[in-house]
Amino acid sequence: MKKEIHPNYAEATITCACGHVTQTRSTVKEMSVNTCSTCHPFFTGQHTMLDTEGRVDQFRKRYALKST
């Protein structure tokens, strides 16, 4: 590696909008994020799945071939 061309890699603090604070290492000392694994619905179990079976049935009914 060439010397003195790379940014400093040091301790960093990531703060979420929900108030959760994470310590890590980065070239940026402080970061703010809107969602994290503590408040995101996918990770908290509040994520809802779409009714894909009902949508497939609607599609088949709508575009079913009519045999004559």
Domain total in the chain: 1
Q: Does residue 53 lie within any of the structural domains?
A: yes
Q: Does residue 35 lie within any of the structural domains?
A: yes
Alpha helix stretches (DSSP H) within the chain: 41-44, 52-62
Task: Identify the pLDDT of residue 47.
Answer: 62
Q: Does residue 68 lie within any of the structural domains?
A: no
Q: Does residue 50 lie within any of the structural domains?
A: yes
Question: Which pLDDT band, with edges at 50, 70 and 90, does 56 fall under?
Answer: confident
Residue whose entry in the numeric block shows the structure tokens 């996918």: 42
Task: Identify the pLDDT of residue 49.
Answer: 62
Question: For 25-37, how does the pLDDT look when each residue is reduced to its tens digit (9 = 90+)?
Answer: 999 999 998 888 7
Task: Identify the pLDDT of residue 68.
Answer: 47
* pLDDT greater at residue 59 or residue 16: 16
Give the angle subtended at the CA of 53 by the CAs of 56 and 61, to the nearest 5°. Answer: 35
Q: Which domain range does residue 53 map to?
A: 10-62
